[in-house]
């Protein structure tokens, strides 16, 4: 990393030997009895050259070095930031997949992921690399860089979703969506509030599924079936499903049967096309 001084000091440092050389030449011209006219012309040309160096050449030279210094400093700062966040990338990628959702109009909702980024960066033990001319990444730049780092990780790590008993209900919804996505379904997780009883919507071959995902410690009852009946109608879905890690009560099974609602364990989603009798795109 180069050592950089301020522009005024840089120009003065560069001009000092030129000033001394100019004075020495002027003294020699006098000593060797050059005519006043000749000395005046030489002095005039030297003054023009001196001004050009002082006001144009050396300031531009300093600016080039300054820009190079800033870029090198930023590269070091970004490298430091990337190194610090590397250990958290698996969790960050899972969080982004979980928190970035879509509304009913297909608009991407980043609000919850934006809050998560702010929280993460606030808790991150990040000390910016700084110099007198570079003050480190601004918070906005840190958030943008974090997004880029997470996206790069997600693009190079096509990780299979694995069920865990420690999953939160929201994580379970994303797990179910991931299982469908692995089977070629275009999935989106609804936003939670105002979802009309539907946690995941999935489309393939023009067929739309509406899922209610329940991670329960006990058998799933009527309420989940009632919610997906309403949600299926609200979204105009072709098929309504309740997916759970547990079993279903007798009354839930009876209600589902009477309304053509499919009750599944999340492991069944690996064979969803076969269960629905989908072999290829309908003509």
Q: Which of 28, 59, 77 is the last residue of a domain?
A: 77
Last residue of a domain, one of 77, 94, 109: 77
User: What's the rounded Cα separation, in Å, for the pair 268 and 48?
Assistant: 84
Same domain flag for 268 and 178: yes
Question: Is the Cβ–Cβ distance between 120 and 92 less than 8 Å?
Answer: yes
Give the span between the Cα atoms of 55 and 10, in whole angstroms: 12
Examine the domain organization and report whether 30 and 56 are in the same domain: yes
**182 and 138 in one domain?**
no
Digit-coded pLDDT (tens) for 75-111: 999 999 999 999 999 889 878 877 887 776 778 888 9
pTM confidence score: 0.58
Torsion of the alpha carbons at 73, 77, 80 and 82, rounded to the nearest 10: -130
Q: How many domains does the chain have?
A: 3
Domain assignment present for residue 231? The answer is yes
**Both 211 and 268 in a single domain?**
yes
H/E/C letters for each residue in 96-126? HHHHCEECCCCCEECHHHHHHHHHHHHHCCC
The CATH number assigned to the domain holding 240 equals 3.40.1350.10
| Whether residue 59 sits in one domain with residue 95 | no
Q: How far is CA 234 from CA 9, 24, 114, 231, 240, in A?
A: 71, 92, 29, 5, 11
Kindly state whether residues 176 and 266 are assigned to the same domain. Answer: yes
Question: Hey, is 237 helix, strand or coil?
Answer: coil
- Flag whether 55 is in a domain: yes
Return the closest-CA partner of residue 165 out of 47, 266, 65, 32. 266
Task: List pLDDT tens digits, range 233-280.
Answer: 999 999 999 999 999 999 999 999 999 999 999 999 999 999 999 876
Query: What does the angle CA 65 – CA 71 – CA 74 come to, to the nearest 5 degrees?
Result: 140
- pLDDT, tens digit (0-9, with 9 covering 90-100), for 144-195: 999 999 999 988 876 667 788 888 888 899 899 989 988 889 888 886 645 6
- Would residue 191 count as lying in a domain? yes
Look up residue 283 and give its two tokens. Answer: 């003509």
Instruction: Please give the residue range of the domain that contains residue 38.
Output: 7-77
Q: Would 283 be classed as within a structural domain?
A: no
CB atoms within 10 A of CB 181: 18
Same domain, 92 and 72: no
282 lies in some domain:
no
């Amino acid at each position: 990393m180069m050592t950089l001084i301020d522009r005024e000091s840089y120009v003065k440092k560069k001009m000092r030997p030129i000033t001394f050389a100019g004075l020495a030449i002027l003294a020699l011209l006098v000593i060797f009895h050059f005519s006043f006219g000749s000395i005046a012309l030489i002095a005039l040309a030297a003054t023009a050259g001196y001004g050009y160096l002082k006001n144009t050449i050396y300031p531009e030279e300093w600016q080039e070095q300054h820009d190079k210094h800033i870029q090198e400093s930023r590269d070091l700062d970004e490298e430091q930031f990337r190194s610090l966040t590397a250990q958290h990338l698996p969790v960050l990628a899972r969080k982004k997949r979980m928190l970035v959702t879509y509304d009913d109009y297909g608009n991407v909702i980043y609000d919850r992921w934006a809050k998560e980024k702010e929280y993460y960066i606030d808790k991150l033990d990040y000390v910016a690399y700084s110099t007198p001319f570079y003050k480190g990444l601004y918070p906005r730049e840190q958030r943008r860089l974090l997004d880029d780092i997470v996206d790069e990780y997600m693009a190079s790590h096509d990780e299979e979703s694995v069920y865990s008993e420690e999953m939160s209900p929201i994580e379970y919804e994303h797990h179910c969506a991931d299982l469908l996505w692995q089977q070629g379904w275009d999935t989106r997780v609804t936003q939670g509030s105002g979802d009309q009883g539907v946690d995941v919507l999935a489309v393939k071959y023009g067929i739309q599924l509406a899922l209610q995902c329940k991670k329960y410690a006990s058998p799933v009852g009527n309420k989940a079936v009632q919610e997906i009946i309403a949600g299926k109608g609200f979204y105009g879905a072709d098929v309504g499903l309740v997916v759970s890690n547990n079993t279903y009560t007798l009354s839930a099974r009876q209600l589902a049967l009477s309304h053509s609602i499919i009750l599944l364990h999340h492991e069944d989603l690996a064979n969803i096309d076969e269960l629905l009798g989908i072999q290829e795109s309908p003509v």
